Chain A
Amino acid sequence: MRRRKDLLALGALALGVGCVPLIVESQYQLSVGVFIAIHAVVTIGLCLLMGYAGQISLGHAAFYGLGAYTSGLLTTKFGVDPWLAMAAAIGLTGAIAYAFGGPILRLRGHYLAMATLAFGIIVYLAFVEFKDFTGGPSGLPGIPRLAIGGFAFDNDAKFFYLAWAAVVAALLVSLNLVNSRVGRAFRAIHGSEVAAETLGVDTARLKLKVFTLSAVYAALAGSLYAHYLTFVSPAPFGFIASVEFVVMAAVGGLASIWGAPFGAAAVTLLTEAIRDLMPRVFAYASGEHEVIAYGLLLILIMIFMPEGLTAGTLRLVRRARGAA
């Protein structure tokens, strides 16, 4: 029953999103749509990790960046085929997450948050410092686009379909996982790790698996990013980016995978809107002021809707109806 509902919703999402490039003509709007999709893929993984396994990561931009840089490096410096580079990016990032995840995930709460944060910043500094490989702060240009045979994903509309196909695939895999025995075990871990252990759940192994999976999602998104922009630089993979992904997951709501694409869309659109609006309100404001509204929103949502925007709104609507 649950699965049928999910499949229907997935079909509806695919259909709805599929129509967007037919209606929207503006390249800018399509490119925002592509970024929503890329962010959504990362957020889905983070949602699995935070919402289902109950583990926080403040370093996911590192995996996103590792995916982007692996793709970029292999294609520009070694002439590897973009698809192969993408597979390598996913494999390598997954392996790194698996290797570090073991010791990191023994930590809980604040300690886990800080360890992932430190990991993220170290990786970011590596992007900046290893100039011979990464091009340092000025970045790595000339990354080739993805293509199948003679068909290249060389404009916003074509890439829009590719990016959203990745979202649908990520959702499908995650929903399958969540509705399986493993998914129930995750929820048990979230409820109480000790209780889950006593029921025979190998919590350490499961946490490591979901951590690796979320890193793989981030790497996939990073690789898509690299082949879409054809350029990578360290800036989008820093601490703030890690926080943004956590915000997207939290805004969407951690109780359900379905929150992730909505959280990604809400935050990405909000960022764009504020970037557009702020300079008009404050004449001397540069783009960076958008962070104030961003931080305020984060605080308000966490205080008033800790279960996320979608579930929180539903609750408010229900309460309003109950009162009326």
Chain B
Amino acid sequence: MTAPEQLLQLVLAGLTQGAIYALIALGFVTIYNVTGIINFAQGEFAMLGAMFIVSLVPLGLPLPVAFLLAVAAVVLVGGAIERLAIHPARHASVVTLIIITIGVDIVLRGLALLVWGTDPFPLAPFSTGAPFSVRGAVISRQALWILGTTAAILALLYVFFEFTYLGKAVRACAINRLSARLSGIRPDRMSLLAFCLSAGLGAVGGIVMAPLTLVSYDMGLYLGLRGFVAAIMGGLVSAPGAVTGALLLGILESLSAGIFRAAYKEAIAFLALFLILLVRPQGLFTRAVGTRAGL
């Protein structure tokens, strides 16, 4: 491979990874916008989605059915978490809520360890066939699935938030909780909806990613932290910002792993997070705003 081809290869790999981060980052943004909570357990939704599908597929279920079942199961988990752990403490301080979501993260990871053990599970790619070649770089069919699914989800989210009554209610709640309440929207219902939605987004990310890597109980923290870095890069309140941040982070990680040692890939997300927080805590693309605003 020539150098430009190699570069293209790294960028493509980064975009694929970034698309997964984007789904998780959107989960962060949704929950933060509606409830003001940073959900530390976000990455575990992706882990659970992946774990459910690797358990469902061997049962002989067709892939689309297994996909929907896995997402539905994780959505239920997300809703249960909101009702059981977040709702009872909704008036508590930021520190308390941070600790609660960390507790949720620990419990989910521990349960996954108990149910599935430490062995990693494989999942066959969604479709078989030779990878495509783009200007000398190779792109696998699964990578196309990932990019396509993320694009489809983004389009669906756009339609949901712009054109449906429920989506507009969620946005109203994000913009101003009190006025939303005065117009008859129940913020606690919206909080439940935000958790379900985020859980679903995370689950889809984990599922489409599963064939690329092995699925193991401890993949959630890694994904969650990267999703958060992406969300922060985008300013934490903006969905387009989060997606851009996620794609940038994916490319950044891929390039640093390709150019330097693979070990630095681990550190680069956190270095980026640290630097961004110190230099531009309002995000890379947004102007500083005082409050949380629309999605």
Contacts and interface: CB of A to CB of B under 8 A. Distances in A.
A282 B19 CA distance: 39
Contacts, number: 114
A292 B106 contact: yes
B113 interface: yes
Nearest to B108: A295
A24 to B, nearest CB: 31
Contacts of B236: 110
Interface residue range, chain B: 35 or more
B171 interface: no
B266 A114 contact: no
Nearest to B114: A289
Helix, strand, loop or mixed for chain A's interface?
helix
Contacts of A113: 38, 98
A129 to B, nearest CB: 5
Interface string A100-143: 00011001011101110111011001000100000000000000
B273 A114 contact: yes
Given A302-B92, A303-B100, A288 B110 contact: yes
Interface in B74-113: 85, 88-89, 92-96, 98-100, 102-111, 113
A103 B102 contact: no
A293 to B, nearest CB: 8
A57 B31 CA distance: 22
Interface stretch (B123-131, B190-198, B274-282): B274-282
Contacts of A291: 106-107, 109-110, 113
B93 A114 contact: no
B100 A292 contact: no
A310 to B, nearest CB: 16
A46 B260 CA distance: 36
A219 interface: no
Interface in A248-295: 250, 282, 284-286, 288-292, 294-295
Nearest to A307: B96
A56 interface: yes
B270 A118 contact: yes
A282 B111 CA distance: 13
A119 B271 CA distance: 8
Interface in B39-73: none
A50 B95 contact: yes
B267 interface: yes
Contact of A306 (B92, B110, B221, B266): B92
Contacts of B221: 239
Most chain A Cβ neighbours within 10 Å, of B225, B232, B270: B270
20 contacts: A104-B278, A107-B281, A109-B94, A110-B94, A118-B271, A118-B277, A122-B270, A288-B113, A291-B109, A291-B110, A292-B106, A295-B103, A295-B106, A295-B108, A297-B103, A299-B85, A299-B103, A299-B104, A303-B89, A303-B92
Interface of A: 50, 54, 56, 103-104, 107, 109-111, 113-115, 117-119, 121-122, 125, 129, 239, 243, 246-247, 250, 282, 284-286, 288-292, 294-299, 302-303, 306
